[in-house]
Amino acid sequence: MTVPTQDPGYQAAGAPHHADEVRGSSLGDLMRQVTTDLSTLMRQEVELAKAEIRQEGKKAGKAAGLFGGAGFGGYMVALFVSIAIWQFLDNVMDSGLAALIVAVIWAAVAAVLYSMGKKNAERIRGLKQTNDSVQRIPDALKPHPEGVTR
């Protein structure tokens, strides 16, 4: 998504383009242009942030759904398989030891599910474009000793 503020040659409509035009403008006109440009810049940054939030929100929703589905499926499988394994092992050994073995098996399953969910969640990148362009704003507002360039 390209925003006009990211274009180095971007100038607001009606803004002076050359040093002679700036020299010929009144202080009030220049202040009005600066105010208009800052207002436009802030509106564009807010729109960029909204677009990024929507885009990243979809990815986060998908990851949350996968976590939820994995959790529920894991619970159901764990419940029925645990009962079956526990009953099988109970025929061969002490019931407490059989339960411990089943618990260790499901700890390994939980670790695998967590790893898969973490990989999916890492794909969510945040508000990178908005953050990058907002960090450039202070430089644009600093006075430049060379003045207006041609």
Tell me how far apart the alpha carbons of residues 48 and 128 are, in angstroms, rounded to a whole number: 10
Tell me how far apart the alpha carbons of residues 89 and 82 are, in angstroms, rounded to a whole number: 10
Note whether residue 144 is domain-resident.
no
- What pLDDT, in 10s, does the model give residues 13-26? 555 556 777 777 78
Domain containing 20 equals 12-136
Note whether residue 58 is domain-resident.
yes
Identify the pLDDT of residue 115: 92
Note whether residue 141 is domain-resident.
no
87 has pLDDT over 80:
yes
Name 3's Cβ contacts closer than 8 Å, sequence gap at least 6.
44, 47, 48, 133
Entry pTM: 0.36
124 contacts 59 by C-beta, under 8 angstroms: yes
43 has pLDDT over 90:
no
25 contacts 16 by C-beta, under 8 angstroms: yes
Identify the pLDDT of residue 111: 92
Note whether residue 18 is domain-resident.
yes
Mean pLDDT of 80-97: 88
Note whether residue 5 is domain-resident.
no
Domain count for the chain: 1
Q: How far is CA 76 from CA 12, 28, 88, 103, 140, in A?
A: 60, 71, 19, 14, 58
Mean pLDDT of 56-81: 87
